[in-house]
Amino acid sequence: MKAFRVHGEYSPRGKRWFKFSKDVVAESEKDALERVYSVMGSKHGIKRRLIKIKAIKEIGVEESEDPVVKYYLSGRNE
């Protein structure tokens, strides 16, 4: 598993755009993108068409501030 940082914008009502950055654990960039769509949709109720992805970058464990990402990449979850 790898860690990815996804930068983008979302519009909850289709008018104003808000920037976001999300760290996720995934096998590939494609899986990371799917994970971001899933999380943004389930937690915030945002449709995929209202999310614009600007960049996806692979990051190291030490770069992530998300404790869940650090936990999964530390190997303690096995």
Q: Which CATH number do you get for residue 27?
A: 3.10.20.10
Domain count, the chain: 1
Domain containing residue 18: 2-74
Question: Which one, of 19, 59, 67, lies nearest residue 40 by Cα?
Answer: 19
- Stated pTM of the model: 0.86
**What pLDDT is recorded for position 29?**
96
**What pLDDT is recorded for position 26?**
94
**What pLDDT is recorded for position 71?**
87
Distances (CA, A) of 60 to 45, 63, 69: 29, 5, 10
HSE (CB half, 13 Å, CA atoms) of 15? 1
**What pLDDT is recorded for position 1?**
86
- CA 3 to the chain's CA centroid: 9
Q: Other CB atoms closer than 10 Å to residue 56's CB: what's the count? A: 18
Positions of the chain with pLDDT under 70: 76-78
Three-state secondary structure call for residue 43: helix
